[in-house]
Structure 1
Amino acid sequence: MTALDHLPDRIRRAIEITPAAGTHERIVDITTIGRRTGRPRRIEIFFYRAHGATYLCSGAGGGATSWHANLLANPAFTFHLKNGVRADLPAHAFTVTDPTERADVLAAIVDDLNQPHDPGTIRPTRLQDWASSRLMRVVFD
């Protein structure tokens, strides 16, 4: 059993992207709760798959992001599939702090983005550029 087995097949397949997935399939919206306002905040963001898990990442440069700060304050959020399959999925975000896990996941993300067919349209990218990225594991409720 995997962490996505409780989801309908069409939704699970939309989340379990492979390296062959194009840019369009990698984009979702998330709705977080504003840490100061308490209001819902919806943004468009890339999601990533690595080692059988789903992640949100701030990308190269690692600058502060509102979505990350909101999830630190309230880890419950909604993951909105919108390209092909549409679904609003309740989820929780967990900060990846273990250095080994961070390194493994970021390396997998960078390897995926550096493929010849350029799935993330940000090629080329280097692992060291992603070292300070905000990285959160997504667990679907």
Structure 2
Amino acid sequence: MDAAIETALALTDDAPFAQRVVDITTRGARSQQLRRIEIWFHNVDGEVYITGTPGARSWYANLLAHPEFTFHLKHEVRADLPATATAIIDPQERTEVLSAIVDGIDAIYSGRASRPEFAPVEEWIDRSPLVRVNFN
């Protein structure tokens, strides 16, 4: 993988908001149509993850049905990366990864006047979609 892409995916603690925002293109679980959405990604211990606030998400249903997708870097580094999603369902792994992600989100918003309200980490662990991104 290109060094610039590896750097973009590494997400240092001081990475700007924009670097965390990517698009993903999934195949619709029922429609089979390609769907492109904007979403944040997270790097935990060198692994790339996608999650969302607690609740059902169509992108997650799409990835469960069709794990192959495209991960689009779109800011300082631009690249369309073929990837495969692996759903994280093991309770211990979900706890470790989502705790790290929520801590990271808290750190991003620390000290900002406009801070969104997020669900407690326990709710993320119980109800949030979570996939590891494996680059092909």
From 12, 15, 18, the counterpart of 2:9: 15
Q: Which position in structure 2 is the counterpart of 1:4?
A: none
Equivalent residues in 2 for 1:58-137, closer than 5 Å: 58-59=52-53, 62-115=54-107, 116=110, 122=116, 126-131=120-125, 132-137=127-132
Q: Distance in 2 between matches of 1:56 and 1:48?
A: 6
Name 2:31's counterpart in structure 1: 37
Deviations 1:72-103 (A, max 9, x none): 00000000000111000000000001111110
* CA RMSD, Structure 1 to Structure 2 (Å): 1.5
More helix by share: 2
Distance 1:117 1:136 in 2: 29
Match of 2:41 in 1: 47
Q: TM-score, normalised by structure 2?
A: 0.89
Tell me which stretches of 4 or more aligned residues in structure 1 moved more than 6 Å: none
Unpaired runs of 5+ in structure 1? 1-6
Shift of 1:124: 6.2
Amino acid at match of 1:102: R
Determine helix, strand or coil for the equivalent of 1:12: helix
Paired residues in the alignment total 131
Q: 1:114 to 1:107 in 2, by over 3 A?
A: same
TM-score normalised by L of structure 1: 0.86
Provide the C-alpha distance between the structure 1 equivalents of 2:52 and 2:32, rounded to a whole number of angstroms: 22
Contact 1:50 1:105 in 2 (8 A): yes
